[in-house]
Each structure stands twice: as structure tokens, then as C-alpha cells.
Amino acid sequence: MQIRNAFDKFAVSFEVFPPKTETGIDNLFYELSLLKKFNPAYVSVTYGAGGSTREKTIDLSMKIKESLSIEPLMHFTCVGNSKSEVAEHLEKVKTLGLTNILALRGDPPAGSADFIPAADGFAYASELIKFIKSKNGFSIAAAGYPEKHPDAPSIEEDIRHLKEKTDAGAEIIITQLFLENDKFLRFRDLCVKEKISVKIIPGIMPVVTLPQIERMVNLSGVILPRKMDADIKNADGDAEKIFQIGVDYASTQVENLMKEGVPGFHFYPLNKARAISEVIENSGILK
Ligand code: FAD
């Protein structure tokens, strides 16, 4: 299946990252076997910062395709890649039958503020998308940011650049996770205003552990919605209560987004099935 058709019917998708060890891979495949019953349109496989997981991303995508018969969506970034290296990568993955790509710019290395393109490489995802498009045979997704990308001076400017990505050949937009639906709905309205006509798939991550919450707040600057913050404080560190608060919050979030006519959901399970399974089942989105 081509990514452009993945949400022709309402569907869900999942994002995973390549584990570092063989045991990690076995565990991931066990978790994916639990998620398979939801008939995901695809499973996307991240590409490590700085291209650190290039081969692992390819291997994991192949294994998902071959042993689970689920379509993989491979992430790929501009980081550290010249045009000829990108061309080589594309040739290789096309030969393997991996033709769905989430094309990204990638982040600057830890400690640097600015993204520096590789020599003879690409400065923005839109340039990478245009290049992939010129190679024919690929179906391309791009990233969108309901709370704006951190580098962008305004959401409006960020969405103008998002339009450059769809004009360059991106056929679907997958969003960064967000906790407040209003932000997604405003983003979607602004995309319509900018004449972006591809499907926009909301990214949902149930936040179910304290370390996960701390990481989001401290590293990504996410502000927890007031009720969720209060409920988590009241849980007083009880791991199971915090898990249920996260699941309940995400279940309500997806139920409300369903009423807004979204074409599907891209879930971030962090390689674990339980929270996502409960969200899908509690919210009834696949009934
Ligand atoms: P771009 O679309 O290039 O945008 C980057 C910034 O540049 C934005 O602020 C944009 O407004 C601005 N911009 C774009 N074009 C122009 C222009 N012409 N002139 C001036 N400014 C411009 N990272 C990984 O390393 N590996 C992954 O697997 C991965 N997966 C992701 C999956 C999803 C669904 C999302 C949402 C993000 C993912 N990321 C991943 C993170 C992503 O690489 C970073 O957020 C990165 O900083 C931006 O990537 P982008 O493709 O959105 O960049």
C-alpha cells in the first residue's frame, strides 16, 4: 500500500523506534503482534538522530513487512547526507520494496542550536521531498506541528513552509504529538487557509509514566493541561493510577477528535502495546 492511500478508509498507524539489542527486537515484535489486531495502515520506523540507525531502520522496516505483513513507513532525514548519499539510499530501499518514506529535516546535533546541512545536502525537508519525488516510485509523508515547530517564528510561517512540503510532493501530513485538541484544530484550519489539501493525521501519545511526563515537560517544553497536571499530582507517584490517567486522557482526546472528522490516528506507543490498545478499545474508534 502506498502511504497516500493509507487513510482512504478511517485507520490507525503506529510509530516504533529500532531497539538496540536482539532482546529489544523480540520484545518489540511481541508488542506489535498485540497491536496487529487493530489492522494498522502502516507502522512507521524512526531514523535515529544523526542517521545513527540507518541500517537498523531499514532492517526493522523489512522485518515488519515480511514477518507481520504490515506496510512499513520508513523515516529518513537530511542529517549528514549529501545528495548522492540520499540517491544511493533511495536506490537501495526501492530495490527492497520500501517505497513509503516520511521525509524529515532532522534535528541539529545535541548542543547546537542551528541545523547545518551536509555538504551538497539539503537544508529543509521540502528540498529532500522534491528530490525523492524526482526519483519516481515513492510515496511521501511529511511532518506537521500543531504547536508550531520550535524554530519557526510563527505558526503561520511554519504552515507556509508546510505548504512547500506538500507542493514538493508530500502526500500526507503526520503531526507531532499534542495534548490539547484546540491546538490541532486551529492548525488544521490554518492548513486549509493555506490551501493544503492532503490528509492531516493527528499524532497521539498517551503519557502514562512519570519519566515520560518529565521528559516532555523539561525537554520539549510541553505544558500539561491543567486537569491532567492536577490529576497526576493527586496520584502521588502511584504508577498504575498515572497510567490510567494518561490512558483516560488520550481516550477522551481521540473520541473528541473523531467528532471533528479526522481521517485516522498516528499513535506513538514507545514500543509498548498496552496504553495504545486501551485507548483504542476505550474510545471505540475502530467500532
Ligand atoms: P522542516 O520542514 O524542514 O522544518 C524545519 C524548520 O525550518 C521549521 O521551523 C520550518 O518552519 C523551517 N523552514 C522550512 N522551510 C524553510 C525555508 N524555506 N526557509 C526558512 N525556514 C524554513 N527526527 C529524526 O531525527 N528522526 C525521526 O525519525 C523523526 N521522526 C519524526 C516524526 C514525526 C511525525 C515528527 C513530527 C517529527 C519527527 N522527527 C524525527 C523530528 C524532526 O526531524 C524535527 O522536528 C526537525 O527539527 C524538523 O524536521 P521537519 O522535517 O519538520 O523540517
Q: Which atom of ligand 1 is nearest to the CA of 124?
A: 3
Distance 47 CA to ligand 1 centre (A): 13
The reply to whether 222 falls in a domain is no
Share of the chain above pLDDT 70, in %: 99
Q: Is 156 among the residues known to form the active site?
A: no
Note the pLDDT of residue 96.
97
The reply to whether 251 falls in a domain is no
**What would the grid cell of residue 125 be?**
525537508
The reply to whether 114 falls in a domain is yes
Q: Which atom of ligand 1 is nearest to the CA of 266?
A: 34
Distance 105 CA to ligand 1 centre (A): 5
The reply to whether 257 falls in a domain is no
Q: What is the mean pLDDT of residues 29-37?
A: 98
pLDDT of 219 over the 80 cut: no
Residues counted in the chain: 287
Domain containing residue 176: 3-207+262-271
pLDDT of 260 over the 90 cut: yes
CA atoms of 284 and 286, how far apart (whole Å): 6
Model pLDDT for residues 42-98, shown as the tens digit of each residue: 999 999 987 778 899 999 999 999 999 999 999 999 999 999 999 999 999 999 999
The reply to whether 113 falls in a domain is yes
Q: What is the mean pLDDT of residues 97-102?
A: 97
Q: Which atom of ligand 1 is nearest to the CA of 152?
A: 9
Distance 107 CA to ligand 1 centre (A): 7
Q: Per the confidence metrics, is the pTM higher than 0.95?
A: yes
CA atoms of 201 and 172, how far apart (whole Å): 8
End-to-end C-alpha distance for the chain, whole angstroms: 23
Q: How many domains does the chain have?
A: 1
Q: Specify the residue with its C-alpha closest to ligand 1, atom 29.
A: 46
CA atoms of 269 and 83, how far apart (whole Å): 33
Rounded to 5 degrees, what are φ and ψ at 217? Answer: -70, -45
From 161, 191, 216, mutation site for ligand 1 pocket: most ligand atoms within 8 A of C-beta: 161
The reply to whether 232 falls in a domain is no
* CA proximity to 161, closest of 147, 148, 174: 148
CA atoms of 133 and 111, how far apart (whole Å): 32
Model pLDDT for residues 105-151, shown as the tens digit of each residue: 998 877 788 899 999 999 999 999 999 999 999 999 999 999 999 99
| Contact present, 205 and 178 (Cβ < 8 Å) | no
The reply to whether 212 falls in a domain is no
Q: Which of 15, 31, 147, 278 is catalytic?
A: 15
**CATH code at 37?**
3.20.20.220
Note the pLDDT of residue 286.
97
Note the pLDDT of residue 157.
98
Model pLDDT for residues 153-209, shown as the tens digit of each residue: 999 999 999 999 999 999 999 999 999 999 999 999 999 999 999 999 999 999 999
Note the pLDDT of residue 134.
98
Note the pLDDT of residue 236.
93
The reply to whether 78 falls in a domain is yes
Pocket of ligand 1 (CB under 6 A): 46-47, 49, 75, 77, 102, 104-107, 124-126, 143, 149, 151-152, 158, 161, 164-165, 174, 176, 203
Neighbours of 84 (CB within 10 A): 10
Rounded to 5 degrees, what are φ and ψ at 227? Answer: -65, -40
Q: Which amino acid, one-letter code, is at 129?
A: I
Q: Which atom of ligand 1 is nearest to the CA of 160?
A: 11
CA atoms of 84 and 73, how far apart (whole Å): 22
